[in-house]
Every structure is written in C-alpha cells, then in structure tokens.
Amino acid sequence: MRGKPALVAIGCVLICLAAPVSFAQKVPGSTDPRSFFRDRPVELKILRTSSSVTFYSKATFHWFTGTTREIRGSARIRGAQVLPDGENRVAIQARTFDTSVRPRDAAVRNILDVECYPEISFRLKGLKVVEESPGIGDYRLKVIGDLYLHGVTREYTIPVFFKVHESKVMVTGEWDVLISDHGIEPPTFLWILKVQDKVAVKFSIQADYEQLPVEAPDENLVKIDSDAEPLSGTEAPSLP
C-alpha cells in the first residue's frame, strides 16, 4: 500500500513532462513563421481576390495608373530554394488592367498588343533572404525571375517584403520596368502627350501555403544563398 502514493506521484510527473510536447506539435498544413525559410518544403497558391498588380506611368502632364486583380499562379519552395517540380509562376491577363477611363483602357490594351500577347508572366528562378525578423514572421527578400511582357523576356531582381501569418503569406514590392526593353515604343497621344519609358510596377500578393512531404535533396534545386540579417523595420517599401 505504501508504494501506491509513490507510483501515483511518478505518474503525475511523467504526464506533466509529456504535456508540453503535445502542445508544441505543429498544426497540419502550417509552418512556424520563425523558420519559414529553413523548414519543410511548402507550396504557395495565390488568392486572386486578395491580390493586385498596379502600374504607375507618367505622361507629359500627369500620372496615370492601371490595376488588375486577375492574377493566378503558385510556387514551391524549400528554404531559399525554388523546387523544380512547382509551377513557380505568376500570370495576369494583359487586357484586364483598369485605368478608370475607358478610352485609356483601350489605349493600354493597344500598347500591350493584347491580341498577340494576351498574358504577362513572371517565372520565379531564385530567392535570397536579405533581412529577417523571424519571431514575427517578417522577411525582406530578393526575388530573381524572368518577366515575359509583349513577347520579350527579361531577367529582374526585385526587392520584396514577405510576411508570414498563420496559413497565409503576403508578398509586396515594386520595381521599375523600361517598356522599350520589351519591344514597346513609348507612345505619344495628340502629338503632345508623351508617355515615359520607365513604368513603376507595384504588387501585393496574398497566398495560401501548405507543407509538402519531405523528400531527399534534389541536385536540380535552384538556390540563392541566404545572408540574412536582423530585420530593422517591418514596413513594406512604398513609392516615392
């Protein structure tokens, strides 16, 4: 009889030690934001209703913008590696840019020659983690990829802000594109309204993500080494 209290006490200690382990287990389909770029492979799938791409163009007397939400695509990554079995691509329909002025919408469609080149796409080739604040799931990255626009493909390196929250990520950023690099001559309207060659592109992409089964390392993985430093700020870059 005297041995029973001791056995009960030992049992209670074992239960207390085991309990934290069960609470620390990951929720299926999610990744710890603190180790997003050092963890299991994940697949990102764009949420069309929560994503947008906007261009900012300057003409002789004013700025004008065009926005589309017709965005689709997905990517598979593991750490700072782009997995070759993923789609690794973002695509938009060129005719869906809305400038809020119908005649101008038609002019943009004509400039982009949407009948011949209906799609604009960006193919992801590599990632580099530049700064990080993994405790709150914030990262600054450099994204390397090919932009296909007006039948011409050019490689770009784009700075982006990457935010991980629960089972979603938000990717925001901006960069400049010279439309002449893609075979588009800056147009002139009414002989005096000339559109500048440089166009700013700003994007806000929200995506779901889920973990993928862990497999053996693949020699064909595309990798950009990480030189991450502590992230000093959490605000996404904005246009000047």
Chain Cα centroid distance, residue 80 = 13
Confidence category of residue 33, pLDDT binned at 50, 70, 90: low
Position 5 scores a pLDDT of 56
Model confidence, pTM: 0.75
pLDDT tens digits along 136-167: 789 999 999 999 999 999 999 999 999 998 88
Class of domain 29-230: mainly beta
| 114's tokens | 């949407």
Q: What is the pLDDT of residues 96-144, one digit of tens each?
A: 999 999 988 998 999 999 999 999 999 999 999 999 886 778 999 999 9
Q: What is the rounded average pLDDT for all residues in the chain?
A: 80
Distance CA(28)–CA(145), nearest Å, equals 30
Q: How many CB atoms lie within 10 A of CB 230?
A: 9
Q: Where are the domains of the chain?
A: 29-230
Q: What is the pLDDT of residues 200-223, one digit of tens each?
A: 999 999 999 988 887 655 555 555
